[in-house]
Amino acid sequence: MPGKALLIPALILTTVIGTGYFLSAENRSEFQWLRSLAGSTPAPAPAPYSATTADNRKSPEATSPKPPSDNALGFMLASVADQYEQASRYPDWSIPLSPAQARGYQANHYEPVTLPLPGDGRFTVTLEKFRYTRGDTILVAAAIEGSQVVGNTMEATLETPQSRDAVVSTRLEEAGSPGYYEGILTADAEPGEYRLIVEATVDGRPVRHASALTIEPDLGEFEGLGDPFVSNNNLVIPVNFAPEDPGYYALSAQLWAGQQPVAQLQAEKRLDSTSDVLELRAHGTVLANRNFNGQFQLKHLQIRQLPAKPGDRTHYAYGPDEGYTFTPPDLDRLTDTPAANPESEQRAALLRQLADKF
């Protein structure tokens, strides 16, 4: 019995070692007899090892995608810091203006609203502007495109957004071409935000189109420009505005040279019966070392009456559509000297410190 007890573990150990040998990578030929019995084609013998084949064999590290760099966040922070450093060259009230930015800064622009109709139809309402001064006339234009059958008239109603009470309404008549309608409303309502509802009959059913506009109080009158002059590395442009009520006002406008936008200008001041001039300033960083020929223009003038107390609305008014044209003084004294902008400089320094930690 003791001999048998020792024999059984020995047989098990021998079986395991033999199995390991047959399954080892260096003894694949030993299984060819089994493949022959199964009717399969013997596998080719492995190619002999060489330094060339080892070098051409790609490792898993080479084929797997590389993880993002550990410095990605640092790079992002450094990029934002560069942008702040660039912005710190310019004062907040005189910012260089690209053509794309000039289109985006157009103050009182209304974007037509289109309502899709079943099939290929579209119901579009267009206004001349988004903000109206109390007493203005509101020209409403509506168009329906598609194969729908449309009634001869439409109804336009101005209503309050909260209660949806109708303030004023009018009928839009077909004008010029089929599917195009026009009508006029008067903006006599109290200043505030309103919904414009245009209702049409399409394929025998009523369809309501909703858009928004605002009515502003009369803030005063623009009365032209004073004589521009150069002071402290700025081109100063006086703008005369006679306010209806005293208060704090903020003025913005675009400075153009011919067909080229130059800068977005801003100014803020308290106005009353004794003080009715806001001075827009174009800094030397947007004007120096540039060849300007001819006259300058101020376009898209917007003035805001700032709230007298928390909760009050900001009111808006706009300059003449054609803007103002003027002849600039001699600009040779202006220099491209960066303006001091402590806030942007501090932000850039902080972001730079954070970026250095990555």
CA 53 vs CA 58, 62, 105, 339: distances in Å: 10, 16, 64, 64
Local confidence band at 3 (pLDDT 50, 70, 90 cut-offs): very low
What is the overall mean pLDDT for the chain?
80
Whether 43 shows a pLDDT value over 80: the answer reads: no
Whether 36 shows a pLDDT value over 60: the answer reads: no
Is there a contact between 284 and 233 (Cβ–Cβ < 8 Å)? Answer: yes
* DSSP alpha helix (H) spans, the chain: 2-23, 32-38, 51-56, 60-63, 72-87, 99-104, 284-287, 342-356
pLDDT digits (tens, 9 = 90+) for 62-88: 445 444 445 666 656 556 655 555 566
CA 221 vs CA 1, 265, 317, 327: distances in Å: 121, 20, 9, 23
The token pair that represents 239 in the structure block: 């703008």
Whether 90 shows a pLDDT value over 60: the answer reads: yes
Domains and CATH numbers, the chain: 2-63 (no CATH), 94-105+219-326 (2.60.40), 119-216 (2.60.40.1930)
H or E segment to which residue 138 belongs = strand 137-145
The predicted model scores a pTM of: 0.69
pLDDT digits (tens, 9 = 90+) for 98-148: 999 998 877 788 989 999 998 889 999 999 999 999 999 999 999 999 888
pLDDT of residue 82: 56
CA 49 vs CA 26, 46, 52, 63, 248: distances in Å: 13, 9, 9, 22, 86
- Considering Cα of 325, then 329, then 335, then 338, what sign does the dihedral take? negative
pLDDT digits (tens, 9 = 90+) for 227-258: 999 999 999 999 999 999 999 999 999 999 99
> How far apart are alpha carbons 120 and 146 in whole angstroms?
6
